[in-house]
């Protein structure tokens, strides 16, 4: 995923990027986080609240993350749920994404709530594997669209990006 991301205009232009710490089979983000920090970018990482909403904190470096809910690792300082609105680019996890930008998550609604706080015009990418970009996925009225799918091999622009 690092190679696919590092050549994009959005990554080069962004000062602050909201990302996530990969868990289990999700596309791995560790190398991307390390590279972004080495490039002088600020990286926001999620903090899972008891109500499944997300707060955000600045990544201090992988060694300085703390244990969070449900086996997640999180930044030690919570900047609040509105901090995602300060990101220049958002990269979120997904189970699948379709070519119109509908993102299928794990069903808890955490990211749909968080993505609703992202200002218009800020690019939102779903991190998925190449085979998880589908022609269609089920959609609900509360689903937040993504603009692109970031896979380990490429960035795929989706129709929601205009």
Q: Which residues are annotated as a binding site for substrate?
A: 21, 26
Contact 13, 91 (CB under 8 A): no
The rounded distance, in Å, linking the Cα atoms of 136 and 138 is: 7
Known binding-site residue numbers for ATP: 103-111
Question: Residue 149: which residues within 8 A CB-CB, separation 6 or more?
Answer: 94, 97, 125, 126, 127, 128, 132, 133, 155, 156, 158
Q: Which two tokens stand for residue 55?
A: 């707060």
Known binding-site residue numbers: 21, 26, 103-111
User: How are beta strands 66-67 and 73-74 bridged, if at all?
Assistant: antiparallel
Looking up tokens 């999620």 gives 46
């Amino acid at each position: 995923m690092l190679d696919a991301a590092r050549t994009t205009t959005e990554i080069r232009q962004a000062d602050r990027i909201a990302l996530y710490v990969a868990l289990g089979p999700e596309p791995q983000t560790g190398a991307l986080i390390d590279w972004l920090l080495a490039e002088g970018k600020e990286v926001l990482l999620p903090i899972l609240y008891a109500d499944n909403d997300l707060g955000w904190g600045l990544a201090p470096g992988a060694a300085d993350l703390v244990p969070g809910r449900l086996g997640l690792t999180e930044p030690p300082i919570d900047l609040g749920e509105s901090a995602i609105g300060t990101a220049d680019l958002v990269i979120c996890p997904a189970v699948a994404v379709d070519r119109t930008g509908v993102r299928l998550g794990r069903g808890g609604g955490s990211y749909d709530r968080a993505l609703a706080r992202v200002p218009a015009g800020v690019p939102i990418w779903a991190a998925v594997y190449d085979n998880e970009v589908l022609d269609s996925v089920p959609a609900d009225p509360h689903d937040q669209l993504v603009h692109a799918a970031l896979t380990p091999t490429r960035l795929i622009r989706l129709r929601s990006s205009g």
